[in-house]
Chains A and B, each alone.
Chain A
Amino acid sequence: MSIFGKFAALSARYDRLKQSGADPFSVKFDDILSSVEGVVRGKKTLLFGTNNYLGLTFDEVAMEMSADAIRHHGTGTTGSRIANGSYKVHAELERELADFYRRKHCMVFSTGYQANLGMISTLVGKDDHLFLDADSHASIYDGSRLGHAPVVRFRHNNPDDLAKRLRRLADQPGDKLIVVEGIYSMLGDTAPLKEFVDVKREYGAYLMVDEAHSMGVLGRDGRGLAEREGVEDDVDFVVGTFSKSLASVGGFCVSSLEGFEILRLASRPYMFTASLPPSIMSSTISALKTLRREPERRTKLTANSRRFYNGLRGAGFNVGPECTPIVAVIIDNPDIAVAFWKRLLEEGMYLNLALPPATPNASAFLRSSVSAAHSDEHIDFAIALMTRIGREFGLLPNETNVCPFPVSAERLGATAATARALPTAVGAGAGMA
């Protein structure tokens, strides 16, 4: 048996998927035309699966700054900051982020994944405890595996369940770190952050919020869920990414806690990887300035999200529990979801397909991310197309005023609270975002 024999079951599943004529894991874009349009198999395709929330990937100023950085500082740093040193732009980016979040400290990582890996694996050690939401992103789980702290999982978005688990370990020495996400990447639901803060205070734990999908999206100034909920002072660490609203690649953590800077000599995913190239950091600084200067992008994003979410729900689709830029259509039968996804691509719409076991309750998700760069026409096209195909597949009745899946936010929230974990390391959507 070859060294790859252990993947036999995964290979078999993938082969079955490919035999159905769809391969959602290796979509090839002939070209990318704008933040929301690409070309697939020669056909102009509307992009609804990019996490490009503010539509800044083709921002003129950011592109110019990026090109200028290459001309003046070269294409790469060719090493880590502890070995090769830091450029001015590293410090500038960290200063800009700290200023935006009104925090004293910021560390920049080479990817958002590494920001979680680097922070979670380092902040808590073997004598501490780490508390993770069951539906945490793969990067959070992987951070927990890289570190040495005992890991306790609590039920998704359930502060009472977290409190129960903290109570069981109340007498244990060591620090306790709770990790939650601003917006969860599969269903688009937000964490009940005020309630989590109450629990954190009661048990004297530290709280980290991953605002990867909520930065630039939630809060009056775009700082995310903690800003929207008015609990920023109680969030000890904010981690985030540059690869969504800021339209590049990289990650960060900000905090005002005394002693934070020592992590630069302790966090291995920070220390032992090449630092971001100047071009990336320059465009990221530009995008952050645009995020702050143009709140109208956030207004448009919110309006677009509402138009799409309400449009799909009104058509009778079973959508996620909350309206955020992540709009997931839940389809019970994964085979239908695969065929549906394939048809959408053929008709000129690209979105993400999430399949079990990466989804709760053996259902599949057609997962879209809305952008401020989408026009009303883009969104209406997408709703009309999905509705037409939904009817073809018998998922929707012909009359749009009849909802075959009457799911209230309350009921769906309750399901989510008891649902299986979302992606860890296996299956479709795992680590996708």
Chain B
Amino acid sequence: MSEEKNELLAEISEVLETVVNRRVELRTDMNIVNDLGLDSIAVMNFCMALEDKFDISIPLHDMASVVTVDDLAKTIQALRSNA
């Protein structure tokens, strides 16, 4: 995995920890809802925190198509490059 991607994952982990208030070990193949135990409200709050971390806009329907951590990383990368 590229260094850039590792850095992005670390940043995502950091944001997630502020939302769930616990330590999280992220892997790219993790399922955000099932493996991380986020309910629908937590996912929306996670989304809002990611928007602020990366200064991007992630409309909720974009988040709906995100299943794994890898999907999320790709979505963020795409939104950042468009910004």
Contacts and interface: CB of A to CB of B under 8 A. Distances in A.
Partners in one complex: yes
Interface of A: 129, 134, 144, 150-155, 164-165, 168-169, 357, 420-421, 424-426
By size class, the interface of chain B is 10 to 19
Q: 7 closest A-B pairs (Cβ-Cβ)?
A: A150-B59, A151-B60, A168-B57, A421-B41, A169-B57, A420-B41, A153-B48
B45 to A, nearest CB: 6
Contacts of B8: none
Contacts, number: 45
A357 B39 contact: yes
A235 to B, nearest CB: 24
B23 interface: no
A134 B59 contact: no
B60 A144 contact: yes
A426 B52 CA distance: 26
Interface in B21-45: 39-42, 44-45
Given A134-B48, A165-B51, A168-B51, A152 B41 contact: no
Interface in B45-78: 45, 47-48, 51-52, 55-57, 59-62
A415 to B, nearest CB: 14
A129 B57 CA distance: 11
A151 B57 contact: no
Given A155-B48, A357-B39, A357-B41, 11 more contacts: A134-B44, A150-B62, A152-B51, A153-B47, A164-B52, A165-B57, A420-B42, A420-B45, A421-B44, A424-B40, A426-B41
Given A144-B60, A150-B59, A169-B57, A425 B40 contact: yes
A426 B57 contact: no
Contact of A421 (B45, B51, B61): B45
B41 A153 contact: no
Contacts of B44: 134, 153, 421, 424
B40 to A, nearest CB: 6
Contacts of A152: 51, 57, 59-60
A169 B58 CA distance: 10
A153 B60 contact: yes
Contacts of A164: 52
A426 B57 CA distance: 25
23 contacts: A129-B59, A134-B45, A134-B48, A144-B60, A150-B60, A150-B62, A151-B59, A151-B60, A153-B44, A153-B48, A153-B60, A155-B48, A164-B52, A165-B57, A168-B51, A357-B41, A420-B41, A420-B45, A421-B45, A425-B40, A426-B39, A426-B40, A426-B41
A165 B48 CA distance: 10
A424 B44 CA distance: 10
A421 B39 CA distance: 11
Contacts of A168: 51, 55-57
Nearest to A154: B48
Contacts of B42: 420
B63 to A, nearest CB: 9
Nearest to B47: A153
B25 to A, nearest CB: 23
Contacts of A134: 44-45, 48
Given A168-B55, A168-B56, A424-B40, A151 B47 contact: no
Contacts of B48: 134, 153-155
Nearest to B60: A151
